[in-house]
Amino acid sequence: MTKKLITGAELLIQYLEKKGVDIIFGYPGGAAIPIFDALVDSKIKLVLVRHEQGAAHIADGYARATGKPGVVLVTSGPGATNTVTGIITAMMDSVPMIVLCGQTITTSLGKDAFQEADVFGITAPIVKHSYLVKNPVDIPRIVEESFYICSTGRPGPVVIDLPKDITGAMTPIQDSPPVMDIPGYTFPTHARSKDIQKIANYIKQSHRPLILAGQGALISEAYNEIQELAETIQAPVVNTLLGKGVFPENHPLSLGMLGMHGTAYANKALTRCDLILSIGSRWDDRITPGKIERFCPDAVKLHIDIDPAEINKIVVPDASAVGDAKLVLRDLIPLLGKLNTKEWLKEVDQYRRKFPLNYKKTGGLKAQHVIDELYKLTKGDAIVTTDVGQHQMWAAQFFKSHFSRSWISSGGAGTMGFGFPAAIGAQFGCSKKTVIAIVGDGGFQMTAFELSTAMLHKLPIKIVVIDNKFLGMVRQWQQLFYDDRLSGVNLEGNPDFVKLAEAYGVKGFRIKRAADVRKILSRALAYSDGPCLIHAEVIKEDNVFPMIPAGGAAEDMLIEAPKVKMEKPKGST
Amino acid sequence: MTELQLQRSQNSHTISLLVANKPGVLLRISLIFSRRGFNIESLVVSPTLDGRFSRMTITAQGDPSILEQIIKQAAKLVDVVHATEHKDISAVQKELALVKVKLNPETTGRVLQVVEHFKATTVDLTSNSLIIQATGSSEKLDAMISFLSEYGIIELVRTGKIVMARGKEKT
Ligand SMILES: Cc1cc2nc3c(=O)[nH]c(=O)nc-3n(C[C@H](O)[C@H](O)[C@H](O)COP(=O)(O)OP(=O)(O)OC[C@H]3O[C@@H](n4cnc5c(N)ncnc54)[C@H](O)[C@@H]3O)c2cc1C
Ligand SMILES: Cc1ncc(C[n+]2csc(CCOP(=O)(O)OP(=O)(O)O)c2C)c(N)n1
C-alpha cells in the first residue's frame, strides 16, 4: 500500500501539534505561505502580530511565563531578520523558543533570490542550534530534535529555516516516531557526589553564608529546594534580576536583588559574607566587578550550574557542581544541618533597617510610588513584565516577586521594546493571571504597535507607561558620569499615550498626581474588558539608587545621589 | 628558538574535535574562535572511520584562560561530540609540507643536503625549481623551511597539524 502524501508544511504542523504546540505567533510572506496554509486546517491558534520582533518577544514572554517553548513563524529575508533582536534576547536569557522561517526555494539559495537572507548564517552566533531543511522527510526528526534541544539542559532558541519547495513538496506521512540524531548533544543532570560533598564541607564551616539564586534555579524549578536549603542552614538569600521569584522576596531570609541597582542590604551582605553559593546564576557583570579579584575577596565561592562553560568563566570557584540545580540541591541538602548564623542574620537585619529602599511621595509623581502601589494593590499576585531602563530597576526593587515565573524582564540583552510584547505572550500563556507590563516611554514606543494584537485578542493586560519624557537610564549616566551633558536622551514630544491607546480601541487611564495613584490603579486593575494602558506622567529627572557604578564592587555602592563629581565608570555599560 | 618563537609556541594550542558530519559545523566552530578574538592558524577537517563524524584539528594562538572557554563553548555545540586540547607529550602531532624551491647549479647540492637531513623527499623537478615534500612535527618543518629560505622559496603549502592521542587515550 502506498502511503498518503501530504505537503512538507502539513507534516511540519502535524509534528508541532504532536509536540503539544497550541499557539504560534507569526507574520506571513511569500516563502512562508505553504506553512500558513497548513495552519488553516490545524487546531493550533495562529496569532497575527504587527511586527516580527513583536512575535519573537511574545513567544519569549509566553515561554518564560509557562516554561513551554514559544513558537514563532515568519517569512524569509526581512521577516526573518526582524526576529534577530528577539532571538538574541532569548539566547542571552536562556529561553526556550523555536523560530520557523520561510526561505527561498533550495535551487535559488545563494543566488540573491527575492527575499533571500542567509538566516542560518545570520543567526548562527545567537542560537542554541539551527537547521536548514533540505528534505521534507527530515521534518519530523528536526521538530523532535528542536523541541528537545531548546528546552533541555541550558535552554535557548532554535531556528528552523524552511525553503518553500520543501514545505510545498509532497511527502509521505510517517507512522513511526522520529528518531533523533544528535550524538553530540548531552547535558548534565546529577552532579558528581564528590563535588557535592566538597560544597557541603565548605558550607558546614561557614559563619556568614549567602545564597545567590539565579534564573537557573528558576529554570530547574528548584523553589522548594532553595527554600529548604536556606531554612536548613539559616542563610540569607539574594537573587539576580532574572532570579526574582525563585525565592520569595517577602520571605524573612530574602534580601532581594543584588548588583548594580540591587538593594543596599543585599550588596552590604555581599561585602560581608564568608561564603557565597551561586545556584544558577552566571555572575553577570551587573553583579560582579570588572576587577574580579574585588568580588567577595574573603569569601569562599561555590558555583552550581548546568553549563560547564559557566564554571571558571567569570569567577573561579573554590568548589563547583555541574548539574541541574534542583537535582544538585536534593543531593546536597541531606549533607547539611542547621548552622549557627544568628549573629550574621542579626547583622544583615541591621542593614535592612538602616538602608531600606525608599522614595518620597511628595515633590511630584514618582515612578517608585506607582510601582509600589501596584505591588500593594495586587499583593504581588501578578505576572510583571518590564522593559529596559530606570522603570525596570524600580520595578525590580519595589515589586517584590513572590512566585517563580512571575517576573519577566530582558536581562542579558537588555532589549528595549521587550516588555509590552512579553506581557502579551505571558497573558496568552496564563489567561487567568493578572499581567502587568511596566514600560518606559522610550521602550514602549519601540513595539507599541502590538496594541492591535493585545486588543484584538481582548487580553486584559495592564500596560503601565512610566513617562518621564527622557531615555531615563541613559540620562542618569550622563548626569552622573558625563558632567550632566545630556545628549540624545530628550523625548519631549512624546505622544499622548492615552490617546494612542484609544486609537487602537484600548482603554486609557492617566495619572498625573501622587494623590491619584491608588484610585486610578485600582480602577485599571478592575478593568477586565481587554487591555488597558495607564499613562503615568512622572517627574522628569529622578534617578535610580542604590547604584554600583559599572565595573565597581559592592563597596563602591552609592546609596543616594553623589554630592561629588563622579569619574567615568570603567565597566562596559 | 628565538624569544618570539618561544612565546608563539607557548601560546599556540592544538585542539581536536570530533564533530557530526553536518552542514554548518565549521561555521559554528569558527564563530566561537572569532568572537573571542582568536586567530585560527591551521585547520584540518577529515573523515573518520565512522561516516557520521568528522575530525577537526585546529591550531590557534591566544591566551590559555580564553582557550578554556573556547574548548568548553565548542564542546557545548550540539554537533560537537567532544573537544580536547592536545599537548605535545600526550599525542603524536604531524604535518606535511610541500616547498617549491628555486634551483641553480650552485645551490642544488646544498638544497639536496637539506632534503636529506630532514628526511624529506623530492616530488617534482624542473630545470629551475624543485618541490620538496616533508612530514614531521610543525617545529621540524619550520626549521627545514628556514634553511630552505636561503635558497629562495617560490611557494609553500602546509597541511596544518593533525594529532592522534597515544596508546589507550582517545583523540
Ligand atoms: C539596565 C539593566 C540593569 C541591570 N541591573 C542588574 C542588577 O542590578 N542586578 C542583577 O542581578 N541583574 C541586573 N541586570 C540583569 C543582568 O544583566 C543579567 O541578565 C542577570 O544578572 C543574569 O541573571 P542570572 O545569572 O540569574 O540569569 P541567566 O543569565 O539567565 O543565567 C542563568 C544561569 O543558570 C544556568 N542554568 C540554566 N538552567 C539551569 C539548571 N536547570 N540548573 C542549574 N543551572 C542552570 C545557566 O547555565 C546560566 O549560567 C540588569 C539588566 C539591565 C538591562
Ligand atoms: C534596543 C535598545 N536600544 C538602546 C538601548 C540603550 N538603553 C538602555 S536604557 C535606555 C533608556 C530607556 O528609556 P525609557 O524606555 O524611557 O525608560 P526609562 O529609563 O526612562 O525608565 C536606553 C536607550 C537598549 N537597552 N535597547
Q: What pLDDT, on a 0 to 100 scale, did the predictor assign at position B32?
A: 97
pLDDT of B27 over the 60 cut: yes
For position B90, what pLDDT does the model report?
A: 83
How many angstroms does the Cα of residue A474 sit away from the middle of ligand 2? 7
The model's confidence at residue B7, banded by pLDDT at 50, 70 and 90, is low
**Interface mutation target, options A185, A310, A312, chain B, most CBs of B under 10 Å:** A185
Cβ within 8 Å, pair A182-B20: yes
What region does A274 belong to: left with phi over 0, alpha with psi -120 to 50, or beta? Answer: alpha
pLDDT bin (cut points 50, 70, 90) of residue A91 is very high
- Going from the N-terminus, what domains does chain A have, and what CATH number goes with each? 5-172 (3.40.50.970), 193-354 (3.40.50.1220), 367-545 (3.40.50.970)
Contact B81/A183, CB-based, under 8 Å? yes
pLDDT tens per residue, range A107-149? 999 999 999 999 999 999 999 999 999 999 999 999 999 999 9
The stretch B7-14 carries a mean pLDDT of 74
pLDDT at B3 over 80: no
Taking only the tens place, the pLDDT of each residue in A287-318 is: 999 999 999 999 999 999 999 999 999 999 99
Residues in contact with ligand 1 (CB, 6 Å cut-off): A 93-94, 154, 214-216, 219-220, 240-243, 257-262, 280-282, 284, 286-287, 305-307, 310, 324-325, 388, 392-393, 411-412, 414, 473
CB B133 within 8 A of CB B120: yes
Q: CA of B75: which chain A residue's CA is closest? A: A184
Can you tell me the mean pLDDT for A84-112? 98
**For residue A59, is pLDDT > 60?**
yes
Is A67 in contact with A20 (CB distance < 8 Å)?
A: no
Give the span between the Cα atoms of A154 and B76, in whole angstroms: 10
The atom of ligand 1 lying closest to the CA of A414 is 53
The pLDDT of residue A259 is: 97
Does the active-site annotation cover A346? no
pLDDT band at B8 (very low <50, low <70, confident <90, very high): low
A114 is catalytic: yes
Averaged pLDDT score across all residues of chain A: 97
CA A460/CA A109 separation, integer angstroms: 44
Q: What is the spatial distance between Cα A110 and Cα A56, in angstroms, rounded to a whole number? A: 26
Q: Is A52 an annotated catalytic residue?
A: yes
Q: Which residues contact A298 (CB under 8 A, 6 or more apart)?
A: A274
Separation of alpha carbons A96 and A168, rounded Å: 27
Contacts of B72 in chain A (CB under 8 A): 308-309
Q: Considering chain B, what is the average pLDDT of its residues?
A: 92
| Ligand 2 mean position, distance from CA A389 (Å) | 5
pLDDT in tens, A448-486: 999 999 999 999 999 999 999 999 999 999 999 999 999
Residue A91 annotated among the catalytic residues of the structure: no
Distance CA A70, CA A22 (A): 10
On the question of pLDDT at A159 being above 70, the answer is yes
Those residues of chain A whose CB sits closer than 8 Å to some CB in chain B are: 120-121, 124-125, 128-130, 132, 149, 182-185, 307-309, 312-313
For A313, which residue in chain B has the nearest alpha carbon? Answer: B69
Given A115, A174, A234, A478, which residue is catalytic?
A: A115
Predicted confidence (pLDDT) per residue in A222-260, tens digit: 999 999 999 999 999 999 999 999 999 999 999 999 999
Residue B63 is predicted with a pLDDT of 86
**Could you tell me the distance, in angstroms and rounded to a whole number, from the CA of residue A432 to the centre of ligand 2?**
30
Contacts of B69 in chain A (CB under 8 A): 309, 313
Q: Which run of H or of E encompasses A338? A: none
Question: Ligand 2 centroid to A310 CA: how many Å?
Answer: 28
Whole-structure pTM value: 0.97
Q: What is the pLDDT of residue A372?
A: 98
Residues B120, B144 contacting (CB under 8 angstroms): yes
Q: Where are the domains of chain B?
A: 3-86, 92-163
Q: How confident is the model at residue B65 (pLDDT cuts 50, 70, 90)?
A: confident
The set of cell numbers assigned to B103 is 634551483
Helix (H, G, I), strand (E, B) or coil at A265: helix
DSSP helix, strand, coil percent of chain A (3-state; round to 5): 40, 15, 40
Ligand 2 contacts CB of residue A391 (under 6 A): yes
A471 lines ligand 2 (CB under 6 A): yes
Q: In percent, how much of chain A has pLDDT > 70?
A: 100
Residues in A closer than 8 angstroms to B53, CB to CB, are 183
Q: How is residue B165 written as a grid cell?
A: 592521542
Contacts of A258 (CB under 8 A, 6+ apart): A212, A238, A239, A240, A266, A267, A269, A270, A287, A554
CATH class as words, domain B3-86: alpha beta
A567, amino acid identity: E
Query: Closest to B23 (Cβ–Cβ): which among A129, A132, A183?
Result: A132
With H, G, I as helix, E, B as strand and everything else as coil, classify residue A11. helix
Query: Is A297:A197 a contact under the CB 8 Å cutoff?
Result: no
Q: Which atom of ligand 2 is nearest to the CA of A472?
A: 20
CB nearest to B72's CB, from A125, A128, A309: A309
Pocket flag, ligand 2, residue A497 (CB < 6 Å): no
**Residue A86 in grid coordinates:** 528577539
Asked whether the beta carbons of residue B69 and residue A309 sit closer than 8 angstroms, the reply is yes
- CATH T-level topology, domain B92-163: Alpha-Beta Plaits (3.30.70)
Identify which of A511, A437, A512, A442 has the alpha carbon closest to the alpha carbon of residue A475.
A442
How distant is the Cα of B40 from the closest Cα of chain A, in angstroms?
17
pLDDT band at B12 (very low <50, low <70, confident <90, very high): confident
Q: Is A260 helix (H, G, I), strand (E, B) or coil?
A: coil
pLDDT-derived band at B10 (thresholds 50, 70, 90) equals low
**Letter for the amino acid at A146?**
S
Contacts of B75 in chain A (CB under 8 A): 308-309
Kindly give the distance from the C-alpha atom of residue A388 to the centroid of ligand 2, in angstroms, as a whole number: 6
Task: Decide if B3-86 and B92-163 have a common fold.
Answer: yes
Q: Chain B: nearest CA to A510, how far in angstroms?
A: 47
pLDDT surpasses 90 at B87:
no
C-alpha distance from residue A134 to each of A79, A157, A166, A554, B79 (Å)? 20, 20, 7, 52, 17
Task: Determine, for residues A125 and B76 on separate chains, whether the beta-carbon distance falls below 8 Å.
Answer: no
Confirm whether A473 is a catalytic residue: yes
CA distance A188 to chain B (A): 11
Q: Is A245 in the pocket of ligand 2 (CB under 6 A)?
A: no
> Exposure pattern of A265-298 as b/e (b: 16+ CB <10 Å)?
bbbbbbebbbbbbbbbbbbbbbbbbeeeeebbee
User: Which pLDDT value is given to residue A571?
Assistant: 74
Q: Which of A184, A185, A313 sits opposite B69 (nearest CB)?
A: A313
* Cβ atoms of A56 and A99 closer than 8 Å: yes
ipTM field: 0.93
* Rounded distance from Cα A139 to ligand 2 centre (Å): 40
Of A149, A309, A313, the CB nearest to B78: A149
Q: Which grid cell sits at A63?
A: 515561554
- Quote the pLDDT of residue B88: 73
Q: Do residue A184 and residue B81 have CB atoms under 8 angstroms apart?
A: yes
